[in-house]
Structure 1
Amino acid sequence: MNIDKRVIRAGLRSSRPLFASPRVPVGGKRLMVEMVTGAARPPRGTRFERDTIAGVPVVRVRPPHTTGGTLIYLHGGGYALGSAKGYRGLVAHLAAAAGTTAVIPDYSRSPEARYPVALEEMVAVYSRLLDDGLDPGTTVIAGDSAGGGLTLALATALRDRGIAAPAALGLISPWADLAIDVDRARPVRRDPLILPSMTADWAPRYAGDHDPRSPGISPVYGDMTGLPPMVMHTAGDDPICVDADKIEAAVAAAAGILRHRRFDDLWHDFHLQVSILAEAREAVTDLGAALRQHILTTDSDPIHPDTAKVASA
């Protein structure tokens, strides 16, 4: 099924007043996000299983055809919204494109849980999976929006704690600089749904009393030396896409590996429309194939950070 992106854009814009309203409680906004994310229908034959890892509820995703490896996917939602159940469809498509199975953790959300709760939960989940036999060389970690920022923060925490790194990171519209939102300095773009006023509300709720420039909250301010190769997708109309420029600069300064593809005239997290938007299907396929290549490269000819380049496509 294909729907013209102009129609999808209009639909997202029509929902923005409710999504942005301070009168709609967080529970109501979580239901709205479940509707948006749930529009991504999984490939036929995908199986889902509920599980618990290190005390964190997760959804295991098993596409009908896999070639090996594991995708750990950290969902978006401003650290306050989104869920493993709501993201099943998108993750199933991405895992199928990468040829892997997947695990989607239901990390604790704000305002009930603030930083560093979600980050520590993800360190615990990943560490438990390693203890249970997960091969980091055939594992990739990916996330969108807040989940993209959390993916970067997790990779940094793993490095700093001497825990084996995954083969690659996948970043979709990563929200990686909450400090500019606390300062209410994020620029306005043409996104049909996301406004800087929204991220300005979400950021302090997650950061709490911590410095929003802490790399665990805003990874763009951290040292990215020694992090796994990254594949990043952003959208030109997304106000959060400015964070990607800072990620590029930080990765370049660390002589890291980054492939960045920016999609003009598209919006924040457009990958979520994978079931109805041709551009989203192509992007998810591209991201999955790129992540798969890092798994295959790890098996045969490892890429070393000191030989890496930052590339934009």
Structure 2
Amino acid sequence: MKINRHVIRACLRSSRPLFASRRVSVGAKRRMVEMLTATARPPKDTRFERVTIAGVPVERAQTAHAEPEGTLIYLHGGGYALGSARGYRGLVAHLAAAAGMTAVIPDYSRVPEARYPSALEEVVAVYARLLETGLDPKTAVIAGDSAGGGLTLAVAMALRERGIAAPAALGLICPWADLAIDIDGSRRMLRDPLILPSMTAEWAPRYAGNLDPRLPGISPVYGDMTGLPPIVMQTACDDPISVDADKIEAAIAAATGIIDHRRFDNLWHDFHLQVSVLDEAAEAVADLGAKLRTHVLSRGTCEIHSNEAKVVVG
């Protein structure tokens, strides 16, 4: 059943006081996020398996495709404190189906139980172990939303610095990639029905701790963008976090990298989570999956060379 986006916007706005309140515990907010992400129902006949890779709990998702073309490693959002691999089953299964891939969703450590660099190191370890056990990086992509989008970019930089083979492409959904401006308190408020700058200002220092928030592992917008895999990025124009994506786009262009950035008017942060009930979300997820699949197929036959940044505005 599809729902009008104005109805969804109103529902999100009604829940904002609870998410914004510092009196509501992290545990309660985690349960609320699980309810929110549960609206994304996986495609029929998707199979899930709980496994451990490099000591990290992981959800594997196998869609109904008979012969998947690659592996999607998906990093969930939630401000590094909320969200879970199980809660993101629906969205990731839809994206994996659109890309024609199997999916791996690491349950990386979250704050307050762990701070930077725990999540980064765990994801790098999962990816490296997958390579050791036979994963072809030319058929792999790493993607994520919100904090998971920023983490995706930070992981790609870490892989490059450590000489680990890069995936074929990166997928970024509304990436939270500049925590420094939140700690500085300079993020502007837009029309998003749920996300307020006060929320990111609360989450950012919990993840960064006493470290410099401009470290590329924490805020990858300040890192070196040269030599990264092609990026497919989608953002929402009402999202106050969308300024981070604009910085990523500019930095990739300056580094002569490849980026496909699609912007969605009159939509909110992580609207993709409503993939089962919102037409715009279903179309966006299908588009992102198809574009990621194109990069995997391209890497399967030849290396991609380009000295221009590609931008698509939607």
Q: TM-score range by the shorter chain?
A: over 0.9
Q: Does 1:6 align with 2:6?
A: yes
Which position in structure 2 is the counterpart of 1:209? 210
* Conserved 8 A contact 1:248-1:310: no
Equivalent residue for 1:177? 178
Question: What is the identity, as a one-letter code, of the residue corresponding to 2:257?
Answer: G
Q: CA deviation at 1:307?
A: 2.9
Q: C-alpha separation between the residues in 2 aligned to 1:119 and 1:43?
A: 29
Letter in 2 for 1:58: V
Counterpart CA distance in 1 for 2:13 and 2:293 is 34
1:51 corresponds to: 51
Where does 1:11-160 land on structure 2 (aligned, <5 Å)?
A: 11-65=11-65, 66-160=67-161
| Cα distance in 1, alignment partners of residues 302 and 261 from structure 2 | 22
Match of 1:197 in 2: 198
1:251 matched to 2:257? The reply is: no
Q: Which runs of 4+ in 1 moved over 6 A?
A: none
Distance in 1 (CA, whole Å) between partners of 2:308 and 2:167 is 17
Q: Which amino acid aligns with 1:50?
A: R
- Measure, in 1, the Cα distance between the counterparts of 2:68 and 2:77: 26
Residue aligning to 1:186: 187
Amino acid at match of 2:283: E
* Aligned counterparts of 2:286 and 2:68: Cα–Cα separation in 1: 15
Partners of 1:129 and 1:210 in 2: CA distance: 30
Distance in 1, matches of 2:286 and 2:239, equals 21
Judge conservation of contact 1:140–1:166 (CA < 8 Å) in 2.
yes
Q: Deviations over 1:200-254 (max 9, x none)?
A: 0000000001100000000000011000000000000000000011001110111
* Superposition CA RMSD, Å: 0.7
Decide whether the 8 Å contact of 1:189 with 1:238 is kept in 2.
Answer: yes
Partner residue, 2:264: 263
- Cα deviation digits, residues 159-217 of structure 1 (max 9, x gap): 00000000000000000000000001000000000000000000000000110000000
In 2, Cα distance between equivalents of 1:28 and 1:263 = 30
Paired with 1:35 and 1:111, the residues of 2 have a C-alpha distance of 21
Specify every segment of 5 or more residues in structure 2 that has no aligned partner in the other structure, as ranges: none
Deviation at 1:309, TM superposition (A): 2.2
Q: Which runs of 5+ in 1 are unaligned?
A: none
Matched residue SS, 2:311: strand
Give me the whole-angstrom Cα distance separating, in 2, the residues matched to 1:67 and 1:185: 44
Tell me the SS of whatever aligns to 1:225: coil
What is the total number of aligned residue pairs between the two structures? 312
CA distance in 1, matches of 2:121, 2:310: 29
Q: Distance in 2 between matches of 1:132 and 1:264?
A: 42
How big is the shift at 1:74?
0.1
Q: 8 Å contact 2:252–2:309 — kept in the other structure? A: no
Using structure 2 for the length normalisation, give the TM-score: 0.98
User: For 1:255, what is the secondary structure of its paired residue?
Assistant: coil
Cα distance in 2, alignment partners of residues 32 and 148 from structure 1? 21
Per-residue deviation, residues 263-290 of structure 1 (Å, max 9, x unmatched) = 0000000000000000000000000000
For residue 111 of structure 1, report the CA deviation from its aligned partner: 1.3
Say which is worse superposed, 173-182 or 293-302, in terms of deviation. Answer: 293-302
* One-letter amino acid matched to 1:156: M
Q: Deviations over 1:88-118 (max 9, x none)?
A: 0000000000000000000000111000010
CA distance in 2, matches of 1:217, 1:46: 34
Residue identity opposite 1:45 in structure 2: D
The offset of 1:301, in angstroms, is 3.1
Secondary structure of the residue aligned to 1:276 is coil
